Amino acid sequence: MPVAETTATATGLCAFIDASPSPFHVCRTVAAELDAHGFTRLSESSPWPAGGAGRYYVVRAGSLVAWADGGADAPTGAGPAAPFRVVGAHTDSPNLRVKQHPDTAVAGWQMVGLEPYGGAWLNSWLDRDLGISGRLSVRDGNTVREQLIRIDEPILRVPQLAIHLSDDRRGVQLDPQRHVNAVWGIGGEPRSFLAFVAERSGIDPGAVLGWELMTHDLVPSRLIGRDLDLISAPRLDNQGTCYAGLHAFLAAVAAPGAATPVLAMFDHEEVGSQSDRGAQSGLLSTVLERIVLARGGGRAEYLAALADSVCASGDMAHATHPNYPDRHEPSHRIEVNGGPVLKVNQNLRYATDAAGAGAFALACAQANVPLQRYVHRADLPCGSTIGPMTAARTGMSTVDVGAAQLAMHSAREMMGAADVPAYAAALAAFLTASPGL
């Protein structure tokens, strides 16, 4: 079977990440790419085009779902009940976010109060020059509009304690309440941080009614290592999958298989996915149902479509760490630049079962890329991802997959350059496979 070719590259991923400091910016980056490929953004609060055929996407704040449907006349023979092939990912990454009353002064320093979002490795955020991004809710007469903001200047820094002031010179235990506040000035009159952000963004500070603001490291992503075959970047978890999934999706749209390709990217995975737009929300299931309704089908056709649909839930995977090989299951070594990773957990921290594993292993074979199989040590608690909740929410057969990386949840992570095109190729083959397992 000819496999859809993707245009995913390591340098392309670096540019994607640098363009996307927040989940809202991930959606904007992806939307721009979709627009360039002839997609139309639909509003969830408006009727959708009848017939269903076309290239569309919806955005809910930091989440996005895109699809390219053939409509009821697509050559699957299933009519309105034509199944879906879904690639899932999450747009959020652990970081430090701005509190509601951020301004404080300590010992002459002007401080900005920050708190961790998700399981950020706090040590990795110290001594970095940090910019600010996110979104503001801005009053516009008697309505409120959303404004994305981004300031790529070294405004904030969370300074580390000098080693001479620590108890035993072996580092300090970081307290998320006391130790991750940022300095942004010394002496002088106190200034409102939020007013500063608004003014820098060309917005009247008095019109700002709400905000989700977060910090990002300003060092650009880049290729590193002896052979420049490694990627040093922030937010690889999980923009590595957002990028590979986007390119797989675009390849599948250009050379469609028998199922309708869908790209589903969720916010809030790092804090449990329970929100209006997380993987536990009805976002994906309502979009899929509305696609079937637009084709002219009903509830029965929607349920029939789900029965034959499969989701590859993409999130990053742990490569075996050279300094901590004992933290890994010894019979399941995972290599960077060793190909996509199938993630299996008997206690369903990952959704993978034999059927899903079969679907993804077949896709890797068709894409001619190697497949690695990850199992967490049985004596360590395993993380989870959007796979189990997507499976539970939709009833779709779901397989958890990823690409190998080190330093997950650090402010600066690392993965293999060759894994980017390999991961995208496997996901493209998955999206264009035959329906069913």
Residues contributing to the site for Zn ion (CB under 5 A) = 237-238, 315
Single-letter code of the amino acid located at 48: W
How far CA 19 is from CA of 129, 130, 221, 339, in Å, comes to 17, 15, 10, 25
Q: How far is the CB of 10 from Zn ion (least distance, A)?
A: 19
Q: How far is CA 348 from the centre of its chain?
A: 21
Q: How far is the CB of 241 from Zn ion (least distance, A)?
A: 8
Q: Which is nearer to Zn ion, 95 or 238 (CB)?
A: 238
Q: How far is the CB of 318 from Zn ion (least distance, A)?
A: 11
Question: What is the C-alpha separation between 69 and 27, in angstroms, rounded?
Answer: 20
Q: How far is the CB of 328 from Zn ion (least distance, A)?
A: 18
Q: Which is nearer to Zn ion, 308 or 315 (CB)?
A: 315
Question: Would you state the structure tokens that stand for residue 225, as one six-digit string?
Answer: 């290592």
431 three-state secondary structure: helix
Query: Is the separation of the CB atoms in 105 and 111 below 8 Å?
Result: yes
Q: How far is the CB of 374 from Zn ion (least distance, A)?
A: 13
Q: Which is nearer to Zn ion, 80 or 340 (CB)?
A: 340
Question: Would you state the structure tokens that stand for residue 324, as one six-digit string?
Answer: 């901590």
Question: What is the C-alpha separation between 302 and 290, in angstroms, rounded?
Answer: 9
Q: How far is the CB of 316 from Zn ion (least distance, A)?
A: 6
Spatial CA neighbour of 253 closest among 386, 54, 416, 59? 54
Structural element, H or E, at residue 428: helix 419-431
Q: Which is nearer to Zn ion, 109 or 121 (CB)?
A: 121
Q: How far is the CB of 435 from Zn ion (least distance, A)?
A: 28
Query: Is the separation of the CB atoms in 55 and 201 below 8 Å?
Result: no
Q: Which is nearer to Zn ion, 133 or 238 (CB)?
A: 238
Question: What is the C-alpha separation between 324 and 416, in angstroms, rounded?
Answer: 18
Determine the number of helices (DSSP H) and then strands (DSSP E) in the chain.
9, 20
Q: How far is the CB of 257 from Zn ion (least distance, A)?
A: 27
**Ramachandran quadrant class, 181 (left: phi over 0; alpha: psi -120 to 50; beta: rest):** beta
Q: Which is nearer to Zn ion, 301 or 315 (CB)?
A: 315
Q: Which is nearer to Zn ion, 110 or 238 (CB)?
A: 238
**Ramachandran quadrant class, 38 (left: phi over 0; alpha: psi -120 to 50; beta: rest):** left
The answer for residues whose C-beta is within 8 angstroms of residue 327's C-beta and 6 or more apart is 321, 377, 380
Q: Which is nearer to Zn ion, 290 or 376 (CB)?
A: 376
Q: How far is the CB of 421 from Zn ion (least distance, A)?
A: 20
The answer for residues whose C-beta is within 8 angstroms of residue 170's C-beta and 6 or more apart is none
Q: Which is nearer to Zn ion, 288 or 401 (CB)?
A: 401
Question: Would you state the structure tokens that stand for residue 131, as one six-digit string?
Answer: 């910019």
